[in-house]
Amino acid sequence: MAETNTECIFCRIAAGEIPAERLVADEASLAFMDIGPLAEGHVLLVPREHYETLDDMPAETAGAMLRHLPALVRAVQTATGCQGVNVLQNNGRVAHQVVPHVHFHVIPRDEGDAFAFNWPAGSYAEGRMAELAEQIRSHMPE
């Protein structure tokens, strides 16, 4: 079991030491309003245990947290009336992770809103996709 990190802002929120507007609270997970919303209704879903990145998490712990996602997305959509939602998980500093405790963003989206990201879709040279797929498969558990 991962330790609580007393330096970590999300561990401190989970422990009730820092106030947050909570939406879900069970033994495995917590969801609360993001203090710096990209849009009104921006929500964070986090595990109670301290894991820095998603790849550190046991599947069962991740599953126990992620089971809340569909209901959270539905509730955010209904409450805000947004047209769509991005579920975003920044994993590592290079991927814009600022708080080093796993979290999933649920971000309401509307036509013409301020949030934008670049999506530079590329393509593979002949054979490269299959080669890479084989390498990834070789690192997956049975």
Active-site residue identified among 42, 68, 103, 139: 103
Output the smallest distance, CB 41 to ligand 5GP, in A. 13
Torsion on CA atoms 59, 65, 68, 72, rounded to nearest 10: -120
Q: Is 137 helix (H, G, I), strand (E, B) or coil?
A: helix
Q: Is 36 in the site for ligand 5GP (CB under 6 A)?
A: yes
Q: With CB cut-offs between 5 and 8 Å by kind, which of ligand 5GP, Zn ion, none does residue 50 bind?
A: Zn ion
Output the smallest distance, CB 84 to ligand 5GP, in A. 18
Q: Is 20 in the site for ligand 5GP (CB under 6 A)?
A: yes
Nearer residue to ligand 5GP within complex by CB, 67 or 96: 96
Mark out the alpha helices in the chain (DSSP H runs).
9-14, 59-66, 69-80, 128-138
| CA proximity to 28, closest of 14, 12, 42 | 14
CA distance 55 to 3: 16
Residues that bind ligand 5GP (CB under 6 A): 9, 18, 20, 32-36, 44, 90, 96-99
Which residues are known to be catalytic? 103
